[in-house]
């Protein structure tokens, strides 16, 4: 990971203020205000009036132009994934992948392919919180030399539904209810669970949505998945099936649900800010691109159908091979021009990659262009700078709303002789795209394959693969979500579905809801056609390879193998006037050298005066920030500072909350008195996540070790913790 010099928030602010004071920004030669047509404006403060106290004149072209433009500043937000943030970066492949694909960007190890990546939530509006319990979009546009390839994925490897026909229904159900537009960015309401309880194909995805994967700590710390099975096509036209994965180099982390809800109030831009600040400070987020490749001949060797988007291929059966790395290294200059106007499309593929018949993917191939027509106002959205291919674009498409290209000549058709036949169709040797010639000989039907009807095995696999704290989080999430559902029959139907996934899971949720699990729910079963036995799909995959647990599905089990780094984790150092300077600065230095981000937080702003009279700059106050915005907290020593903090309810609350959310807490030994005022005072010597030391070098070492473990989930068993 590349690093610029570490800068605190106060350093950044000071630099900006100096720039403004020196007035450097306006010495650029672009200082005159003009209309959109280049006329210099002499007065931008007043509209043109008939006399000092008279009415505004229609003639005021400057006013009308300015106001008309303003009136049209918003474009329709995305119908789903409206809330998002993006960044530029590069992708480089490790080894040529020629055996499987002829895609240029996956073969040339010297090529740095530019990318633009947009992360998003799904359900909320453009201004909604980043911390909703939701799927995260993970859309990557590769600007390859052979044209744009968009990998429009999510941070979960499966989806709610199997057929695109159901997407409008699903989205109507999860969005705020249409009569009162409540609730914003939340699935915890009747219409969502009504639909889910009647659509058992969603069972697997619901397990993911109720898990900690749905409340990531950062976009930089989540996995990404292409979801559908794609095809790789090599130079000889041989096809292999492929699933795409993104593996974050920082490992996976999530927050607690209580924390997520708090962050939604304290900083609804939490993920957006996190991504922006990491890139600004030079801590560039990185992911490895992984692939699971399945030979064409092995298509039917699994106990599920590769075309079913509610199924994943367990990594323990087909390993994920890491084939390249993506680094995000530049923030956009304009949120609107880039993040808002970027148009992704599953159908943007390049030679070497192709589609499968996954019925969800097939439907997406229609939807993404269609939606841009109204969102971006016409068929020329590919000309918007962020959407332009770096490969030359030549065709006979012309005109339309917002056309920017000025085509020359009179020929806009093919075949032609007047332009010497240009532009020509590209043959195979010229890199022309040709679709994989899959053999299809079938009846036209409206139905699903029998192989799509086992809705529960992988939901069970997911639940079984979680550690105890993660299982508890899923149970709690279901109790929360269903607890918000007002219609009792919906809650009951869900209990019935949960029972199919795991009886203990269903019982625990039922206990929380104080409901009995119903024995039989007619409506659900009607969705599985009477002549279909869900268990009838006979895989040819060797039985001994069938698995009941897949550790790669658990965030905690993944951590065991991931990098033990604290790079970019945010640490709060709490101190006040009279603090011991070494106790702040030595620990800060040690944390910074591990790549952590450190904020000094005090009861008052700007600076504190240490016990040796040194002036120490403050980044945030106990009023302007909160423990939920940090990964760990350290209380500095110094008698006067300790005396002040002991009487500061916000400081004690900060610690209580950090403890409740299972975060590492450290204190200089003399600051123990403050920790003794918290409700976890009786845990100080027993809790593995609490470090108290007088030797600051030892303290830093132990604190860094504790932080590398992320959270101390055993605290959740201590009973209800106030905060
Ligand atoms: Fe999307 N989806 N989707 N989706 N999707 C959109 O396209 C759609 C699906 C995903 O940052 C829309 O430009 C249908 C799966 C992402 O701009 C729309 C179906 C996956 C983004 C659309 C799906 C995704 C979108 C809304 C079922 C994961 C945000 C605005 C057949 C593999 C991209 C837009 C960005 C956005 C349709 C299902 C991922 C309406 C019809 C499965 C990451 O076209």
**CATH code of the domain covering residue 162:** 2.40.180.10
pLDDT at 533: 58
What pLDDT does residue 597 have? 98
Residue nearest to atom 38 of ligand 1 (CA): 364
Whether residues 470 and 616 share a domain: the answer is no
Parts of the chain with a pLDDT under 70: 1-29, 522-545, 561-563, 720, 722-723
Give the per-residue pLDDT at 523.
52
pLDDT at residue number 429: 87
Containing structural domain, residue 461: 456-532+540-550
> Do 694 and 613 share a domain, yes or no?
yes
Radius of gyration of the chain, Cα coordinates, nearest whole angstrom: 29
Q: What CATH number is given to the structural domain containing 622?
A: 3.40.50.880
Ligand 1 atom nearest residue 363's Cα: 31
Would residue 637 count as lying in a domain? yes
In the reported structure, the alpha carbon of residue 139 is separated from the centroid of ligand 1 by a whole-number distance in angstroms of 9
Residues 699, 582 within the same domain? yes
- Residue 30 within a domain: no
DSSP label of 599? E
pLDDT in the model for residue 316: 93
Say whether both 112 and 233 belong to one domain.
Answer: yes
Q: Are residues 581 and 512 in the same domain?
A: no
How do strand 321-330 and strand 286-295 relate by DSSP bridges?
A: antiparallel
| Adjacent-strand bridge partners of 153 | 138
The CATH number given to whatever domain includes residue 525 is 1.20.1370.20
Q: Which of 154, 155, 131 is nearest to 217 (CA)?
A: 131
My answer on whether 523 and 574 are in the same domain is no
What is the DSSP code (8-state) at residue 406?
-
**In total, how many domains does the chain have?**
3
Q: How far apart are CA 129 and CA 83, in angstroms?
A: 8
**Minimum-distance ligand 1 atom for the alpha carbon of 227:** 32
Q: Is residue 168 part of a domain?
A: yes
Q: How far is CA 229 from CA 97, 356, 549, 607, in A?
A: 18, 7, 22, 55
| Model pLDDT for residues 586-645, shown as the tens digit of each residue | 999 999 999 999 999 999 999 999 999 999 999 999 999 999 999 999 999 999 999 999
pLDDT tens sequence across 654-694 = 999 999 999 999 999 999 999 999 999 999 999 999 999 99
Active site residues: 81, 154
Determine the atom of ligand 1 nearest the C-alpha atom of 368.
44
Q: Is residue 32, in this structure, part of any structural domain at all? A: no
Q: Which of 337, 361, 387 is the last residue of a domain?
A: 387
In a domain, 257, yes or no: yes
Please tell me whether residues 633 and 712 are part of one structural domain: yes
pLDDT tens-digit series, residues 228-278: 999 999 999 999 999 999 999 999 999 999 999 999 999 999 999 999 999
Q: Which of 77, 78, 373 best tests ligand 1's pocket when mutated (most atoms within 8 Å of CB)? A: 78
Kindly state whether residues 660 and 526 are assigned to the same domain.
no
- Eight-class DSSP state of 351: T
The pLDDT value given to residue 532: 57
Where are the extended beta strands (E) located within 516-555?
none
State residue 263's pLDDT score. 98
Q: Which of 344, 366, 387 is the last residue of a domain?
A: 387
- Relative to the CA of 86, which ligand 1 atom is closest? 11
Nearest to 326, CA basis, from 145, 3, 569, 93 = 93
Strands 665-668 and 113-121, by their bridges, are unpaired
Instruction: Indicate whether 635 belongs to any domain.
Output: yes
Separation of CA 346 and ligand 1 centre (Å): 8
Q: Are residues 90 and 170 in the same domain?
A: yes
Q: Are 170 and 273 members of one domain?
A: yes
Residue 609 resides in a domain: yes
Q: What is the pTM of this model?
A: 0.94
Q: What confidence score (pLDDT) does residue 564 get?
A: 79
Name the strand (E) or helix (H) holding 532.
none
Whose structure tokens read 């744009």? 148
Is residue 169 located within the same domain as residue 302? yes
E strand segments, 276-387: 286-295, 321-330, 353-354
Residue 187 lies in a domain: no
Q: Give ligand 1 pocket residues (Cβ under 6 A).
A: 78-81, 84, 118, 120, 137, 139, 152-154, 159, 164, 167, 227, 309, 342-344, 360, 363-364, 367-368, 371
Q: Do 362 and 491 fall into the same domain?
A: no
Domain's final residue, options 387, 418, 437:
387
pLDDT for position 30: 73
């Amino acid at each position: 990971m590349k690093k610029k010099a570490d800068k605190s928030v106060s350093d950044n602010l000071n630099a900006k203020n100096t720039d403004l004071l020196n007035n450097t920004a306006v010495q650029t030669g672009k200082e005159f205000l003009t209309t959109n047509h280049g006329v210099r404006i002499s007065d931008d403060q007043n509209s043109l009036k008939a006399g000092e106290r008279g009415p505004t004149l229609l003639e005021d072209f400057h006013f009308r132009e300015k106001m008309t433009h303003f009136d049209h500043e918003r474009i329709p937000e995305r119908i789903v994934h409206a809330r998002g943030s993006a960044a530029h970066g590069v992708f480089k492949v490790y080894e040529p992948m020629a055996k499987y694909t002829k895609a240029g960007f996956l073969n040339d190890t010297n090529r740095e392919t530019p990318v633009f990546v947009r992360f998003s939530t799904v359900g909320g509006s453009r201004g909604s919180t980043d911390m909703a319990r939701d799927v995260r979009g993970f859309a990557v546009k590769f600007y390859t030399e052979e044209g744009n390839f968009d990998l429009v994925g999510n941070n979960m490897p499966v989806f709610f539904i199997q057929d695109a026909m159901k997407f409008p229904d699903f989205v109507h159900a999860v969005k705020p209810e249409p009569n009162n537009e409540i609730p914003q960015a939340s699935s915890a309401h009747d219409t969502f669970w009504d639909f889910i309880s009647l659509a058992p194909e969603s069972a697997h995805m619901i397990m993911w949505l109720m898990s900690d994967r749905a409340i990531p700590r950062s976009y930089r710390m989540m996995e990404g998945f292409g979801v559908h099975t794609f095809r790789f096509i090599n130079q000889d036209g041989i096809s292999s099936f492929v699933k795409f994965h993104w593996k974050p180099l920082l490992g996976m982390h999530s927050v607690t649900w209580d924390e997520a809800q708090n962050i939604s109030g304290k900083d609804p831009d939490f993920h957006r800010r996190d991504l922006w600040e990491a890139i600004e400070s030079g801590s560039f987020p990185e992911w490895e691109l992984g692939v699971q490749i399945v030979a064409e001949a092995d298509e039917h060797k699994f106990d599920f159908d590769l075309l079913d988007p509610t199924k994943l291929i367990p990594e323990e059966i087909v390993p994920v091979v890491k084939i390249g790395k993506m680094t995000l290294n530049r923030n956009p200059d304009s949120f609107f021009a880039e993040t808002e106007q970027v148009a992704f499309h599953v159908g943007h593929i390049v030679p070497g990659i192709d589609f499968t018949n996954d019925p969800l993917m097939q439907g997406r191939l229609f939807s993404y262009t269609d939606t841009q027509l109204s969102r971006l106002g016409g068929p020329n959205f590919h000309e918007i700078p962020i959407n332009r291919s770096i490969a030359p674009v030549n065709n006979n498409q012309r005109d339309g709303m917002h056309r920017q290209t000025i085509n020359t000549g009179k020929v806009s058709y093919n075949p032609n002789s007047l332009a010497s036949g240009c532009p020509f169709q590209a043959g195979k040797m010229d890199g022309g795209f040709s679709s994989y010639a899959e053999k299809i000989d079938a009846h036209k039907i409206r139905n699903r394959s029998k192989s799509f009807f086992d809705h529960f095995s992988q939901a069970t696999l997911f639940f079984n693969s979680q550690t105890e704290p993660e299982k508890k989080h899923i149970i709690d999430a279901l109790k929360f979500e269903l607890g918000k559902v007002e219609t009792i029959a919906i809650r009951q139907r869900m209990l019935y579905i949960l029972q199919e996934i795991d009886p203990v899971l269903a019982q625990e949720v039922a206990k929380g809801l104080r409901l009995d699990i119903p024995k039989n729910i007619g409506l659900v079963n009607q969705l599985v056609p009477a002549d279909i036995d869900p268990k009838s799909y006979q895989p040819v995959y060797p039985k001994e390879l069938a698995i009941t647990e897949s550790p790669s599905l658990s965030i905690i089990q993944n951590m065991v193998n991931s990098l033990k780094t604290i790079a970019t984790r945010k640490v709060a150092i709490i101190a006040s006037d009279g603090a011991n300077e070494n106790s702040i600065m030595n620990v800060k230095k040690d944390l910074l050298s591990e790549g952590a981000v450190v904020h000094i937080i005090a009861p008052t702003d700007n600076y504190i005066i240490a016990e040796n009279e040194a002036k120490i700059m403050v980044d945030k106050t106990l009023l302007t920030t909160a423990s939920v915005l940090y990964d760990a907290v350290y209380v500095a020593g110094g008698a006067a500072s300790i005396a002040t903090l002991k009487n500061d309810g916000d400081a004690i609350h900060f610690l209580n909350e950090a403890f409740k959310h299972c975060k590492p807490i450290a204190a200089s030994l003399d600051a123990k008195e403050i920790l003794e005022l918290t409700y976890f005072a009786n845990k100080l010597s027993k809790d593995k996540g609490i470090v108290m030391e007088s030797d600051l070098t030892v303290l830093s070492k132990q604190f860094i070790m504790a932080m590398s473990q992320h959270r101390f989930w055993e605290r959740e068993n201590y009973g209800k913790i106030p905060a």
